[in-house]
Structures are given as structure tokens and as C-alpha cells.
Structure 1
Amino acid sequence: MSGLLIYAVICITLALVFYTIGVFSERKSGKLKKWHAAVFWAGFVFDTSGTTLMSKIAGEGFNFDLHGITGLVALLLMAFHAVWATVILIRGSEESKKTFHKFSIAVWAIWLIPYVIGMFIGMK
């Protein structure tokens, strides 16, 4: 296994860890907090880094296949999710802070699709 691949796998795995911690701790606390948004951003950064490294390894651009499309959707949703969490915290709406977890769970579940597909692709 190449060093670049090891870094890519570590980044993608850290994205899963950060995003999972953020989503489920937000849900458990019942209210969006600043550190949740920071963890969402960390998950997004690690996912983007891992995806970039995997693309370099593959030596290809974007692929219009199930993994490519779901991965792009997941990255866009993660970015929107982190931005929206930040906006809610800046605005200070207590109601929005309490209901944000519903959106978080959906984004996390969608993000898992390309993660799992990528694992199967990598096992070939």
C-alpha cells in the first residue's frame, strides 16, 4: 500500500469519526453548539483532503459513476451543512439550534453511501 493511499484512508476515516461525533453528540445534547460546527468543518476538511488524495492516486478526473456522483453530492451536502450550522450559530436562533439535528442525521446518512461504496471499490 502506497504512502499516499495510507494518508487518503486516514483522512477519509477521520472524516467519518469527526462527522459521526459531531452529528450524534449534537443529537444527544439536543442543541447545536459551536464545537459541533467546528467538528462538522473538520469532517468536511478531512473528507475533501481524502477525496483529493484518492483522485491523485486514481489519476483520473471526476467519474460519472455511482461512487463519483454520490461522493460529490455528499461533499456538497457536508459543505452546506457546515455553512448552515455556522449561520445558525451566528444568528443565534434557539429554535433552529434545537431542530438542526434532523438535518444533520440526513446529511450523515447520505454521506455514508459513498463511504461504503468506496470501501467496496477499495477491496477489489
Structure 2
Amino acid sequence: MSIKLIMAIVTITLALIFYTIGVFSERKSGTLNKFHVIIFWIGLLFDTTGTTIMSRIANGGSLLSLHGITGALAIVLMLFHAVWATIVFTKNDTKKLHNFHKFSIIVWLIWLIPYVIGLIIGMSN
């Protein structure tokens, strides 16, 4: 296994860990706070890094595959989620702070699709 592949696996797995911690600790606390916003941005950073490394390993692989399409969608959603979390937190709207976890869960579930597809592809190769 190449060092690039190991780095990609580690960073994408760190994205899963950080994103999961952010989403479920937000849900448990009942409100979006600064910790969650930071964790979402860290998760996005790790996912983007891992995806970039994987793309280079695959020599630019096809974005028209199911994994490519869902992976691109996941990064766009994670970016939107982190930006929206930052806006909601900054505006300090109590109702939005308390309801943000509903959006977080949906984004997290969608993010899991390319993660699982990547696992399946990786195990089958």
C-alpha cells in the first residue's frame, strides 16, 4: 500500500470522525455552538484533503461515476453546511441554533454514501 493511499485513507477517516463528532455532539447538546462550527470546518478540511489525494492516485479518475458524483456532492454539501453553520452561529438566532442539527444529520447521511461506496470499491480492488 502506497504512502499516498495511506494518507488518503487516514484523512478521509479523520473527516468521518470529526464530522460524526460534530453532528452528534450538536444533536446531543441541543444547540449549535462554536465547537461544532470548528469541528465541521476541520471535517471538511480532512475530507477535501483525502479526496484530493485519492483523485491524484486515480489519475484524475472519472467524476461521472457514482462515487465521483456523490463525492463531489458531499464536498459541496459539507462546504455549504460549514458556511451555513458559521452564519447561523454568528447571527445567534436561538431558533436556528436549536434546529440546525436537523440539517446536519441530513448532510452527514448524504456524506456517508460516497464514504461507503469508497470502502466497497477499495475492498473490491
Aligned-residue CA RMSD (Å): 0.7
> What is the rounded CA distance, in whole Å, between the counterparts of 2:63 and 2:69 in structure 1?
8
> What is the rounded CA distance, in whole Å, between the counterparts of 1:29 and 1:71 in structure 2?
29
1:104 aligns with 2:72: no
**Residues 54-93 of structure 1 correspond to what in structure 2 (within 5 A)?**
54-93=54-93
Deviation at 1:62, TM superposition (A): 4.2
The letter of the residue matching 2:68 is G
Q: TM-score, normalised by structure 2?
A: 0.97
> What is the rounded CA distance, in whole Å, between the counterparts of 2:90 and 2:17 in structure 1?
25
Structure 2's unaligned 5+ residue stretches are: none
Percent identity of equivalent pairs = 61
1:15 aligns with 2:7: no
> What is the rounded CA distance, in whole Å, between the counterparts of 1:88 and 1:95 in structure 2?
10
Match of 2:116 in 1: 116
Deviation at 1:63, TM superposition (A): 2.1
Q: TM-score, normalised by structure 1?
A: 0.98
Task: Show CA shifts across 1:66-110 (max 9, x none).
Answer: 000001111000000000000001111011000000000000000
* Aligned structure 1 segments of 4 or more residues deviating by more than 6 angstroms: none
